[in-house]
Chain A
Amino acid sequence: GAGVSQSPRYKVAKRGQDVALRCDPISGHVSLFWYQQALGQGPEFLTYFQNEAQLDKSGLPSDRFFAERPEGSVSTLKIQRTQQEDSAVYLCASSGDGNTEAFFGQGTRLTVV
């Protein structure tokens, strides 16, 4: 596609529910990043893939957060047993490699009630 696509755009989850957020990067982009943006704050790094390899997951806040990119293209961020503090916008970005411009999707706004 022309840009990074994320789905769903909005997700409301009941506390304790599992959610899966999808990211379709720009075709051919090697690097893929996930960020979490709380209301009124800057994005915070969660994890990074180069092709299918998850090279850095130092930003994942707990073991309830899990990301995968099994074929080196589409990525899924999964949050198990959601908590209210997980409410945020989750941003995905891709780049040709780590040294070129990162293009961001519009994000998924997750609200945990």
Chain B
Amino acid sequence: GNSVTQMEGPVTLSEEAFLTINCTYTATGYPSLFWYVQYPGEGLQLLLKATKADDKGSNKGFEATYRKETTSFHLEKGSVQVSDSAVYFCALSAYNQGGKLIFGQGTELSVKP
């Protein structure tokens, strides 16, 4: 079946450090891929998405590229801020599944000043 695996947290970085959170997926066909973010005390928010191979999603300085050959969608940011501290979820939506999302287990990011 379809599944998402992301690197375990917590990830602790200093401000302005480079961030990578790894995400790989298993799916039949060509799913859409997403990163969601959950800030403390808030609901899940869509951070970025990509709908086909080689697409790059980007938002708020974060980027992720849909790599079909490695079935990956790693999240990167060149310089993190304290305000980026949150839990990040990688997710996929398989074709013809009505928009149902399958999530990874989440990666907690803590950025220290």
Contacts and interface: CB of A to CB of B under 8 A. Distances in A.
Interface of A: 4, 31, 33, 35, 40-45, 48, 50, 55-56, 91, 93, 95, 97-102, 104-107
B99 A97 contact: yes
A40 B105 CA distance: 7
Given A42-B106, A48-B98, A98-B97, 5 more contacts: A41-B105, A43-B44, A91-B43, A101-B49, A104-B43
Contacts, number: 60
Interface of B: 4, 36, 42-46, 49, 89, 91, 97-106
Contacts of B106: 40-42
B53 to A, nearest CB: 18
A42 B104 CA distance: 6
A67 to B, nearest CB: 14
The 10 A-B pairs with the shortest beta carbon distances in the complex, nearest first, are: A98-B99, A42-B103, A104-B44, A98-B98, A106-B43, A104-B43, A42-B105, A43-B103, A42-B106, A45-B100
B100 to A, nearest CB: 5
